[in-house]
């Protein structure tokens, strides 16, 4: 759980506002079913308070991965761009670009390392400033880095094992931990296998965790492809969900329920049909204090979002999970093969009612009814409520939405990645949506503001690599966001 210090008191105040609004909704909903009653387990700080604030000014910041960029002559070496939030949102001149070529970052730019293909954050040294974990895709055997937050933003770095990371307080001691997976994506029958280790926080800048342990007995034989962390059973320990390649063309998702000693062995949540292009997120979308598992995408088809609501004994079996797709009432757009509804997901409270909402990327969506722009892409905002996530109040945003910069074009894949960070610090999460294929594969990211009425076009901004003087050609800018 994110703990506030002096520079982040704005976030604390927003958390209080959100809680009061949520209680107001409880009162309004008093005549409804007992299931809407707020339980005692509700956390003191909403999940959305875990947003990254690297410079500790109270305004959450946005991280953009550009893993395919050439750096210092090394093709596909990659970098990350950090855009700092402010009362006016993001600005092109308020950013830091960091690669293996940046002073203080271990290593040097390496062809095909794809630094920045996966990014995640938490305050890992417990100094009140969020830190950033940047992964590479050249595993197994690769080493990621932690970039350290501070009053001037990110600077300095420490090498850590693995290519893919998830942060959370797994052992429930109040310090943020990081699960580090040394893994890779095998395209053969046999997985490479994963070495999964947790570094318990706080972690020193010299690279020493408070303690560490390995977890996941079966993962020695499986590849981990995607991960998400959050507390699904309300016991104060963050749990982990992972998408895994188990070999012979088979995929599954697994749940690692954390206990007093942290993460142990996984149990299977779902089996997935290949190619298992699943995105994972955890957030509390029904305001009951239990984190809920969100699984988006699923195949090259229309895509769907499955919701495993958390509870004291964890989520129900997955065959009982509700499903939302573009056939669901209120959800914009048509349910078509290839849309990839849910190929990317992000959780945050956009409308400020204290309940988390979900941005759903639909990067394969065709826009326009005649001569449709195939895979121009779309992002749909679904609202959380005390009854759960639904199509009620859903909104679609694309480059063809009035007031949004840019023009939707065939193959942009707008919505290939999404994030919900409150970069204006007003208590409403703002949308970041990437089109990694925009501009011939250079990529670009849009920032769209959240309000009490949802997403609005006013103040929308587009950030591309050229606009921040970063390497642009084929960069896949926005291939990951945090």
Contact 18, 287 (CB under 8 A): no
Where does residue 62 rank: exposed (0-12), middle (13-18), buried (19+ CB within 10 A)? buried
Cβ at position 193, least distance to Ca ion in Å: 32
Q: Given the complex with Ca ion, which of 292 and 438 has the nearer CB atom?
A: 292
Strand partners, 97: 81
Contact status: 50 vs Ca ion (CB under 5 A): no
From 147-155, 230-238, 260-268, 321-329, give the range in contact with Ca ion by CB under 5 A.
147-155
List the interface residues with Ca ion, window 369-398 (CB under 5 A): 384
Cβ at position 263, least distance to Ca ion in Å: 21
Q: Find where tokens 């979308």 sit.
A: 285
Q: Where are the beta strands (DSSP E) in 331-402?
A: 344-348, 357-362, 378-383, 390-397
Q: Given the complex with Ca ion, which of 234 and 303 has the nearer CB atom?
A: 234
* Residue 454 token pair: 């949802």
Pick one of 215, 290, 341, 446: the residue that binds Ca ion (CB under 5 A).
Answer: 290
* Residue 314 token pair: 């964890």
Contact status: 288 vs Ca ion (CB under 5 A): yes
List the interface residues with Ca ion, window 76-95 (CB under 5 A): 85
Number of residues written out for the chain: 482
- Rounded-to-integer distance, Cα 256 and Cα 264, Å: 6
Contact status: 57 vs Ca ion (CB under 5 A): yes
3-state secondary structure of 455: strand
- Rounded-to-integer distance, Cα 94 and Cα 338, Å: 37
Q: Given the complex with Ca ion, which of 203 and 224 has the nearer CB atom?
A: 203
Q: Given the complex with Ca ion, which of 55 and 120 has the nearer CB atom?
A: 55
Cβ at position 83, least distance to Ca ion in Å: 10
Contact status: 59 vs Ca ion (CB under 5 A): yes
Pick one of 238, 339, 351, 438: the residue that binds Ca ion (CB under 5 A).
Answer: 351
Q: Which residues, 6 or more positions from 35, have their beta carbon under 8 angstroms from its beta carbon?
A: none
From 127-135, 253-261, 274-282, 386-394, give the range in contact with Ca ion by CB under 5 A.
127-135
Contact status: 355 vs Ca ion (CB under 5 A): yes
From 8-16, 131-139, 388-396, 444-452, give the range in contact with Ca ion by CB under 5 A.
131-139
Give, in order, the Cα–Cα distances in Å from 422 to each of 19, 59, 442.
17, 7, 25
Q: Which residues, 6 or more positions from 24, have their beta carbon under 8 angstroms from its beta carbon?
A: none
Pick one of 219, 353, 412, 480: the residue that binds Ca ion (CB under 5 A).
Answer: 353
Cβ at position 375, least distance to Ca ion in Å: 29
The distance between the two most distant Cα atoms of the chain, rounded to a whole number of Å, is 65
Q: Which residues, 6 or more positions from 210, have their beta carbon under 8 angstroms from its beta carbon?
A: 175, 200, 201, 202, 203
Q: Given the complex with Ca ion, which of 230 and 363 has the nearer CB atom?
A: 230
3-state secondary structure of 257: coil
- Rounded-to-integer distance, Cα 477 and Cα 439, Å: 10
Pick one of 284, 412, 422, 430: the residue that binds Ca ion (CB under 5 A).
Answer: 284
Burial 142-151 (b: 16+ CB within 10 A, else e): bbbbbbbbee
Q: Given the complex with Ca ion, which of 125 and 138 has the nearer CB atom?
A: 125
From 287-295, 318-326, 361-369, 406-414, give the range in contact with Ca ion by CB under 5 A.
287-295
3-state secondary structure of 137: coil
How many residues of this chain interact with Ca ion, rule: CB under 5 A? 24
Interface pattern 26-45 for Ca ion (x via CB under 5 A): --------------------
Where does residue 419 rank: exposed (0-12), middle (13-18), buried (19+ CB within 10 A)? buried
Cβ at position 432, least distance to Ca ion in Å: 14
Contact status: 421 vs Ca ion (CB under 5 A): no
Binding site for Ca ion (CB under 5 A): 53, 55, 57, 59, 61, 85, 123, 125, 127, 129, 131, 149, 284, 286, 288, 290, 292, 310, 349, 351, 353, 355, 357, 384
């Amino acid at each position: 759980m994110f703990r506030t210090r002096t520079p982040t008191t704005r976030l604390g105040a927003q958390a209080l506002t959100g809680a009061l609004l949520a209680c107001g909704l409880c009162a309004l909903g008093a005549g409804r079913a007992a299931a809407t009653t707020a339980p005692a387990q509700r956390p003191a700080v909403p999940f959305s308070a875990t947003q990254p604030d690297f410079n500790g000014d109270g305004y959450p910041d946005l991280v953009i991965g550009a893993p395919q960029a050439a750096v210092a002559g090394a093709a596909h070496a990659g970098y990350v761009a950090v855009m700092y939030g402010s009362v006016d949102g993001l600005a092109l001149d308020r950013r830091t670009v960091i690669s293996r070529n940046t002073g203080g970052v271990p290593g040097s730019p390496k062809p095909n390392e794809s630094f920045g293909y996966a990014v995640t954050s938490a305050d890992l040294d417990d100094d009140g400033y969020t830190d950033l974990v940047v992964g590479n895709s050249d595993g197994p055997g690769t080493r990621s880095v932690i970039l350290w937050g501070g009053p001037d933003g990110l600077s300095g770095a420490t090498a850590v094992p693995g290519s893919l990371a998830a942060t959370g307080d797994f052992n429930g001691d109040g310090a943020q931990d990081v699960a580090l997976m040394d893994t890779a994506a095998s395209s053969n029958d046999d997985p490479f296998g994963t070495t999964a280790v947790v570094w318990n926080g706080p972690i020193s800048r010299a690279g020493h965790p408070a303690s560490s342990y390995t977890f996941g007995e079966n993962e020695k034989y499986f590849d981990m492809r995607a991960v998400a962390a959050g507390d699904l059973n309300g016991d104060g320990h963050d749990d982990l969900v992972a998408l895994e390649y188990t070999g012979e063309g088979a995929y599954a998702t697994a749940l690692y329920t954390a206990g007093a000693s942290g993460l142990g062995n996984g149990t299977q949540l779902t089996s997935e049909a290949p190619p298992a292009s699943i995105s994972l997120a955890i957030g509390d979308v029904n305001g009951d204090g239990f984190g809920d598992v969100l699984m988006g995408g699923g195949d090259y088809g229309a895509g769907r979002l499955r919701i495993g609501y958390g509870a004291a004994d964890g989520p129900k079996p997955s065959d009982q999970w509700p499903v939302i797709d573009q056939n669901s009432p209120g959800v914009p757009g048509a349910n078509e093969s290839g849309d990839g509804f849910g190929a990317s997901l992000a959780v945050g409270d956009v409308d400020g009612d204290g309940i988390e909402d979900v941005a759903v990327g639909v990067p394969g969506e065709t826009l326009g009814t005649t001569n449709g722009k195939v895979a121009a892409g779309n992002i749909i905002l679904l609202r959380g409520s005390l009854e759960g996530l639904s199509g009620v109040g859903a909104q679609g945003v694309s480059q063809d939405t009035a007031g949004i910069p840019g023009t939707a074009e065939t193959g942009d894949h707008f919505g290939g990645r999404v994030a919900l960070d409150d970069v204006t610090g007003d208590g409403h999460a703002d949308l970041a949506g990437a089109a990694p294929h925009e501009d011939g594969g250079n990529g670009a990211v849009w920032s769209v503001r959240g309000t009490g009425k949802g997403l609005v076009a006013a103040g929308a901004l587009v950030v591309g690599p050229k606009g921040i003087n970063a390497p642009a050609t084929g960069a896949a800018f926005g291939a990951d966001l945090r």
